[in-house]
Amino acid sequence: MKNHNVRKGVVSFLVAALAMTYSLVILASPGAAVGDLTITGRASSPEASVTVNGEPATSGRTLFSSGVIRTPEGLSAVLNLGKAGKIRLEPSSSFALSVNNDIASGELLAGDLTVLNAASPVAVTTAAGTVMVGAGEAASASTTTPRQQTQTASGGPNWGVWAAIIGAGVFATIIVIHSSGDDETTSPIR
């Protein structure tokens, strides 16, 4: 009888330990995946890398509904958040991301970010307060108002330059054809 009570106690203890372990594992899950990370630029040192929650990350890293993304000098990161939009973190930035029901928000701890696109403005909290940043606008950790992002020249010459180049080519072709020195009229009938 005594042996039976010991077995019963050990089994009860093991069942309770197993139940507590699984409940802690389920509670510790990071949440739903909301997007991925794309890293661009050239790091200032080989040891420098973008981190997500303190862990080094590479392009394609899955992002969950909350986390802290840090970019070192020379590297920027684009957070592809699906329906919540795209956010670019500039070099030397730190952003605590939160995504809830396809709406992105977060705390900009350092540096700058740009909202590339989003269905609704992104609520960005900085040391100076909270600012709503819409698509095409940027925010800095030290300002309270969003600013329009200026277009950089990384896309190449604008359409005006291309129109001038094509127009110059057409003009040069016309001049060459008319100045060939052949004044004889050529007729298909002899």
Structural domains in the chain (count): 1
Mean pLDDT (the chain) is 80
Comparing 32 with 55, which gets the higher pLDDT? 55
Q: What is the pLDDT of residue 161?
A: 73
CA–CA distance, 74 with 14 (Å, rounded to integer): 52
Note whether residue 46 is domain-resident.
yes
Note whether residue 184 is domain-resident.
no
Torsion over CA: 45, 109, 107, 89 (sign): negative
pLDDT band for position 153 (50/70/90)? very low
Torsion over CA: 142, 143, 144, 146 (sign): negative
Comparing 183 with 19, which gets the higher pLDDT? 19
Note whether residue 183 is domain-resident.
no
For the ranges 6-10, 30-34, 73-77, 108-112, which has the lowest average pLDDT? 30-34
Q: What is the pLDDT of residue 186?
A: 62
Nearest to 139, CA basis, from 170, 171, 105, 172: 105
Burial of 125 (0-12, 13-18, 19+ CB in 10 A): middle
Q: What is the pLDDT of residue 101?
A: 83
Q: What is the pLDDT of residue 152?
A: 46
Tell me which residue range forms the domain holding 113: 33-153
User: Tens digits of per-residue pLDDT, 25-52?
Assistant: 565 555 678 889 999 988 877 788 999 9
Note whether residue 68 is domain-resident.
yes
- pLDDT at position 86 over 60: yes
Comparing 80 with 188, which gets the higher pLDDT? 80
- pLDDT at position 84 over 80: yes
Comparing 80 with 161, which gets the higher pLDDT? 80
Note whether residue 92 is domain-resident.
yes
CA–CA distance, 162 with 81 (Å, rounded to integer): 35
Q: What is the pLDDT of residue 92?
A: 92
How many Cβ atoms from other residues are within 10 Å of residue 44's Cβ? 13
pLDDT band for position 182 (50/70/90)? low
Q: What is the mean pLDDT of residues 6-22?
A: 75
